[in-house]
Every structure is written in structure tokens, then in C-alpha cells.
Copies of this chain bind each other. A is one copy, B any other.
């Protein structure tokens, strides 16, 4: 983050990892800001992140119509294409060769901790090779699991989707009572699963139980929790993270799914499978039908819908995603050498934020998890402190209403 002497050259922007509803806001925020500077000779977009940098697969964003760029900003998913790839030192060297050929001096990588790590490695190697480069990470992840920052762009919109999905599903479950399990994305951090509670208003609104990867999942306690809710309400809506694990750290899913497919970052492929939900549903059916007789138990896995659903976007998230892109460009243009843009929540009653630069190494590699005060002591729900934290990020939820339901006296 040291001040450096001015440098002129091409800026390259890339997008990496799972797309979000607002990742293009960051792209366009950075792009429009960079285009206004004389220091930047051209703004290139790398197709599919580092893959495009390796193969010189760039598109020129310098002349794209600003109105089109604004429309792209409002389009979910990565407009440049994304990639799940960690670069090797050899690939890093090839990226420099490409950067040298095109006089690329500014590198912006939009993504999660893996992308911060890539930016960090590229940056370190540039220094070793004596290649002058400015490298910036722009945060993005629906998992909300980056260190330093208060929260991550992309999370608010995914949280809004999950909150609305649970509002609808809880109403559905009220109308035809039973036990319903919904599996939510989030490998290690429970922020997105916890967002299931954001639409709760009445005392008996679901989800009634929330299982997070931060707390060991105990099968017997799970069955007892559900039994208690069902006994009281005659129904039960459950949110469970795809990443719930037992006390030994073994994924509950792995006890069932068998296959151990992993991506090149070593992340297990959890989404897109109904296995975990079905496992939990079968377990509850088996165990609770002994006590209650025939039960209606269902499971859904939200899957990819959570991260790219057009039309369900948090306004705060949309705005901030644009602003982190803009901030990254401004930090770069005002003489910073490298860093990751982070968000700080201002003190005060009204929600407001400011952006600052943090070292790439502070964000790379490791992720963070839900703090203890966001989880109840039983480890089966999110707290009001979490709601206070997350509700401003998800923004306004649809209004719903219930009939007063004045009972008609029975006649004999």
C-alpha cells in the first residue's frame, strides 16, 4: 500500500469464482473510473479471469458505450466470464509475459479469498521479477467469508434471495403443514444460511431451526430439536448449510454422497445435489414417524438459484458493489501499489459505509466465519445481533400479511 511513482499503462480487470447478482457492478464501477484517468491508456477485460490473462484473451472495455456498461452492471453473473483456477508460479510468469507485451500496469481481480490470493501471488512475483505492477483485489462472495471487511458485495443480494425463499416456503408450510428442510449454500461460513431468518416477523414464523457449519451437527440433537418444534407448532421449517459437519469435522453430506469430487482449490463440490436434504428428510421420517405416525417431510436444495437470480437484488448491495469497484480504481490512481478494498460500517443509527484498503495478504488464503454472538447458545438458530447486522445488507423484503382469522363459533 506504499505510495509509488506515477506509472502509465493498460489496466486489466478480471472476474473469478462463483458469480453473483452484482459482480458486474464492480466491473463497471472500476472500468468507468479507470476510463476517466489519463494514467490508464486502455482498460481491458480478461475473459474468464486468469485463463484470459494466460491466453491473451482480452476485450477492450475502453470504448464500450457507457449506457451498455450500466446495463451490464445490472445483469447478474460475470459479464467477462469467470474461472475457478489458482495460478502456479509457472503460469504467473506467463501472465507477466502477456502483461509486458501489452504494457499492463494495473491489475484488478474481482473475487473471493482465492482471487485475493491470486492477486497477491501475481503481485509478489511482479516485485521479484522487477516488473512494476499495481495489483488490487475487489471483494465479491455470496458466502460473506472474507477477512477484514465488514461484509462482501454479493452477499446482500444472495441473502435477500434466501430470506424471500424462506418467507415463501414458510407460508407454503403453513398452508400444508409438515416438516421442510432447505439446504443453503456456504461451505464454511453460515452467513447465507443464517439469512433465512431475515424475513421472520411473527413469533411462529420459520425457519424454526437453523444449522450452520460453525457448530458441530449432532444427529440426535437435530432429531430432538425438530420433535420439540413439531410438537408445539405441528410443523417445522429448517435451514441447514450445505457445509454442516459432525464433531469430527466430517461433512454430514459425505456420510451419504460417496463421491469426493474437488475443484482445483480443493473445495468439495457441494451444490447441485439433493443428497444432504434427502438424507436429513429420511432421517426425520424414520425417527419421528415412530412417535407421530405418517409425516409429510420434504427437502429442497436451493443450489445455483441463490447466486444469480435476476430481479432479486438488494439495492444496498448493488450500490456498494459498484462503489468497491470505483474505490479500487481510485486507490490505484491515487498512488497505491496494491491492496484489497474493504468495507467499514460507520457508527450511527443510519446504515452507512466507507471503503479502505487492506493488504492483499490479510484477505488471501484464509476465510472467516460467523462470530459467536450471531449464533444462539444452542447452536440451532441465528440471533437478533445477526439480524441487526444482515438486514441492512439484504434491504427491503416484500410485505406479507395474514388474515386476522376471527373464528366462527361451532354449532351443535
Give A residues with C-beta under 8 Å from B. 15, 18-19, 21, 44-45, 47-48, 56, 58-61, 63-65, 68-69, 71-72, 74-84, 101-102, 164-165, 167-169, 171-172, 174-176, 180, 271-275, 277-278, 281, 298-305, 307-312, 397-408, 410-411
Contacts and interface: CB of A to CB of B under 8 A. Distances in A.
Given A175-B77, A271-B298, A298-B271, A308 B168 contact: yes
Contacts of A272: 277, 281, 298-300
The 4 closest A-B pairs by CB, nearest first: A274-B274, A77-B171, A71-B401, A300-B303
A403 B309 contact: no
Contacts of A68: 401, 403-404
A84 to B, nearest CB: 7
Contacts of A411: 56, 101-102
A176 B69 CA distance: 21
A44 B84 CA distance: 57
A60 B410 CA distance: 12
B404 A64 contact: yes
This protein's copies in its complex: 2
Given A167-B310, A305-B165, A56 B408 contact: yes
A105 to B, nearest CB: 15
Nearest to A61: B403
Contact of A299 (B65, B273, B298, B402): B273
A305 B56 contact: no
B78 A402 contact: no
Contacts of A273: 274, 278, 299
Contacts of A76: 168, 171-172, 400
16 contacts: A56-B410, A64-B406, A69-B403, A74-B400, A75-B399, A75-B401, A76-B400, A83-B176, A102-B408, A102-B411, A168-B304, A168-B305, A168-B308, A272-B277, A274-B301, A298-B304
A33 to B, nearest CB: 17
A181 to B, nearest CB: 9
Contacts of A308: 168-169, 171-172
Contacts of A59: 403-408
A370 B147 CA distance: 52
Contacts of A72: 401-403
B63 A309 contact: no
Nearest to A313: B398
A176 B84 contact: yes
